[in-house]
Amino acid sequence: MGGPDVKTVSTKPYEGQKPGTSGLRKKTKTFMQENFVENFVQSTFDALDGDADTTGELLVLGGDGRYFNKDMTQTIIRMAYANGVAKVLVGQHGLISTPAVSHLVRSKGAAGAFILTASHNPAGPNEDCGIKYNSRNGGPAPESVTSAIYERTKTISEYRIADLPEVDLAEIGETKFGDSFSVEVIDATETYAQLMDEVFDLGEIKDFLSRDDFVFTYDAMHGVAGPFAKRIFHEELGVPLEQLLNCEPLEDFGGGHPDPNLTYAHDLVECMGLDQKGMPLKGVDPESLPDFGAAADGDADRNMILGKQFFVTPSDSLAVIANNAECIKYFKDGLKTVARSMPTSGAADRVAEEKDMKFFETPTGWKYFGNLMDAKELTGGKKDYNPVLCGEESFGTGSSHIREKDGIFAVLCWLNILAAKNEPSAPLVTVEDVVREHWDTFGRNYYTRYDYENVDADLAQKVMSRLNGIIFMFEVSNRAPVDIGAGFTLANCDEFEFHDEVDGSVSPHQGWRFLMEDGSRFVFRLSGTGSVGATIRLYIERYSKDDTSQETASALESLVQLALDFSDLHAITGREGPTVIT
């Protein structure tokens, strides 16, 4: 058989190639070390056996366009050939959003995908890079696969690579190498746009967007969302290009931090007339502001939804979409299942209860939702129609149309809901109206998250030991409720442990929970997506049935203080406050 030569290269293991919540994520300089990428990619090919084996199969390859991705793309193509893959489908310029990769794997019957992204982390020579492997179902590889990859990285001694010429990633089309391998460069926005057309009534949304009292704006934050946003919002839905901000993917995301939250998406937040706490800015003329704003992260799987001077928490966004699911084509025969991650607020639980939907609470990480989506018997759906809606407080929303969260999908859900609620000649029903109506019906889960980024790992450990100590004390006092001041009684506390009903797996240590008698709670977790030090997250929630119009900060003030006192977080870490509040 003719074809480029394959060589076997000796290598030595690198320590710490353990995939985290979403793949391997490290400083770019770490990725640029000799054989670092090759080791991880070869370990992945080696670990994929049985049904996951990629020999003779199709592989999808794309990323968020960050610095060093182009080099990694060429390396992976050469290694795919050397490891017996039949064909690689790669995005033009190496670009494919994470949701679009998931859809391509599913719709093209690929064995899996390499996604080159560190998601919402900044990019550049001094910032972050990432590689994540997704399985045949289009979702992140399960723990069994990622730990097999990690085990392999510890002992790897050689990798295989082919002597392939550089593939021109700018040129759409298929190139054959030898008799048994080809690389096809595709415009990934094409199949993704078709999918969105299946999931939504784009015509209805387009009509709504043509109202002259409704202005939509979108911030792609110079990540991979840009080309997808242009394709869907401009080409399909007629939004003027000048309302689509930062839609040119840049290798360093323009120096920004492509995380769609109140702190990092500051340009959009200001453009919507909000301050960084999500409160209305004083002295702006509301008439001059857009009516709807949304942003994406680097790989376009996250979303932030904003109304005119109004921030929608991701937890509320999930609940509102669940409650209005029938407005969305994909759910029109009935949404039967809703799931949220543990730290996400309980707003969606109330909708599920009211509407008699199945409800699941999973640990943080999208992969846990994939099992639910694939387990039709559990979610009670029909064979080919089994819609599941999922969401996370970390600005992730998605459904069973793919196996990743989907930033543009979330925005289209909102536009579809607004389209359904608005009559052509009646006054505009706004984002804020929809959310306030929701609170009037279900009550409000006041919610905030404090992030303490880049904390010294030992100090973070001290905080966690203290929390473990409190949980231990609670256990030994027979779990008797304790008055902890400010009107709160601690009714329960534990470390969240997840028992997956689908595959029987157990995921321990998923966050420290402190539950009050009135349903309020605070939760601590260590982030799994950082690349240096530790990030401590503190999630705070208080439910009120009738009192729904307070400012979040004041509604939660005493609970925040209790959480800080409990953990002694500021004294132990030497911090005076969080790095980010969402």
Report the interface residues with ligand G6P, using CB under 6 A. 21-22, 119, 341, 364-366, 392, 394, 396, 527-529, 537
- The nearest distance, CB 512 to ligand G6P, in angstroms, is 14
> 373 and 386 in contact (C-beta within 8 Å)?
yes
- The nearest distance, CB 417 to ligand G6P, in angstroms, is 23
Torsion of CA 431, 433, 439, 441, to 10 degrees: -120
What three-state secondary structure class fits 545? coil
Q: Which of Zn ion, ligand G6P, none interacts with 366 (beta carbon under 5 to 8 A by kind)?
A: ligand G6P
- The nearest distance, CB 124 to Zn ion, in angstroms, is 17
Classify each residue of 183-218 as buried b or exposed e, where b means 16 or more C-beta atoms within 10 Å of its C-beta: bbbbbbbeebbebbeebbbbeebeebbeeeebbbbb
- Of the candidates 545, 527, 532, 531, the one whose C-alpha atom is nearest the C-alpha of residue 582 is 527
Q: Which is nearer to ligand G6P, 273 or 530 (CB)?
A: 530
Binding segment (CB under 5 A) for Zn ion, from list 264-272, 289-297, 498-506, 567-575: 289-297
Site for Zn ion in 73-92 (CB under 5 A): none
- The nearest distance, CB 396 to ligand G6P, in angstroms, is 5
- The nearest distance, CB 302 to Zn ion, in angstroms, is 5
- Of the candidates 235, 274, 240, the one whose C-alpha atom is nearest the C-alpha of residue 431 is 274
Instruction: Report how far residue 188's alpha carbon sits from residue 408's, in angstroms, rounded to the nearest whole number.
Output: 14
Q: Which is nearer to ligand G6P, 4 or 528 (CB)?
A: 528
Q: Which of Zn ion, ligand G6P, none interacts with 567 (beta carbon under 5 to 8 A by kind)?
A: none
What three-state secondary structure class fits 358? strand
- The nearest distance, CB 87 to Zn ion, in angstroms, is 26
Instruction: Report how far residue 302's alpha carbon sits from residue 101's, in angstroms, rounded to the nearest whole number.
Output: 14
- The nearest distance, CB 297 to Zn ion, in angstroms, is 4
Q: Which of ligand G6P, Zn ion, none interacts with 43 (beta carbon under 5 to 8 A by kind)?
A: none
Q: Give yes or no for residue 379 binding Zn ion (CB under 5 A).
A: no
- Is beta strand 388-392 parallel, antiparallel or unpaired with respect to 337-341? parallel
Structural element, H or E, at residue 362? strand 358-362
- Pick the binder of Zn ion from 259, 291, 301, 406 (CB under 5 A): 301
- Of the candidates 244, 228, 31, the one whose C-alpha atom is nearest the C-alpha of residue 118 is 31
Q: Which is nearer to Zn ion, 38 or 299 (CB)?
A: 299
- Of the candidates 400, 410, 448, 256, the one whose C-alpha atom is nearest the C-alpha of residue 324 is 410
Q: What would the two tokens of residue 458 be?
A: 């030992």
Q: Which is nearer to ligand G6P, 337 or 344 (CB)?
A: 344
- Pick the binder of Zn ion from 299, 349, 392, 451 (CB under 5 A): 299
Q: Which of ligand G6P, Zn ion, none interacts with 394 (beta carbon under 5 to 8 A by kind)?
A: ligand G6P
Q: Which is nearer to Zn ion, 318 or 459 (CB)?
A: 318
Q: Which of ligand G6P, Zn ion, none interacts with 299 (beta carbon under 5 to 8 A by kind)?
A: Zn ion
Q: Which is nearer to ligand G6P, 98 or 552 (CB)?
A: 98
> 265 and 314 in contact (C-beta within 8 Å)?
no
Q: Which is nearer to Zn ion, 44 or 397 (CB)?
A: 397
Say how many C-beta atoms besides its own lie within 10 A of residue 442's C-beta: 22
Q: Which of Zn ion, ligand G6P, none interacts with 364 (beta carbon under 5 to 8 A by kind)?
A: ligand G6P
Q: Which is nearer to ligand G6P, 44 or 582 (CB)?
A: 582
> 113 and 58 in contact (C-beta within 8 Å)?
no
Q: Give yes or no for residue 291 binding Zn ion (CB under 5 A).
A: no
Q: Which of ligand G6P, Zn ion, none interacts with 365 (beta carbon under 5 to 8 A by kind)?
A: ligand G6P
Which amino acids are annotated catalytic? 119
What three-state secondary structure class fits 277? coil
- The nearest distance, CB 362 to ligand G6P, in angstroms, is 10
Instruction: Report how far residue 24's alpha carbon sits from residue 10's, in angstroms, rounded to the nearest whole number.
Output: 22
What three-state secondary structure class fits 300? coil
- Pick the binder of Zn ion from 39, 73, 97, 119 (CB under 5 A): 119
Kindly give, in sequence order, each residue whose CB lies less than 8 Å from that of residue 449, ignoring residues fewer than 6 positions away: 343, 393, 537, 538, 539, 540, 581, 582
Q: Give yes or no for residue 297 binding Zn ion (CB under 5 A).
A: yes
Q: Which of ligand G6P, Zn ion, none interacts with 396 (beta carbon under 5 to 8 A by kind)?
A: ligand G6P
Helices assigned H by DSSP within 342-492: 347-354, 367-374, 376-379, 407-421, 431-442, 457-476
Q: Applying CB under 5 A, which residues contact Zn ion?
A: 119, 297, 299, 301
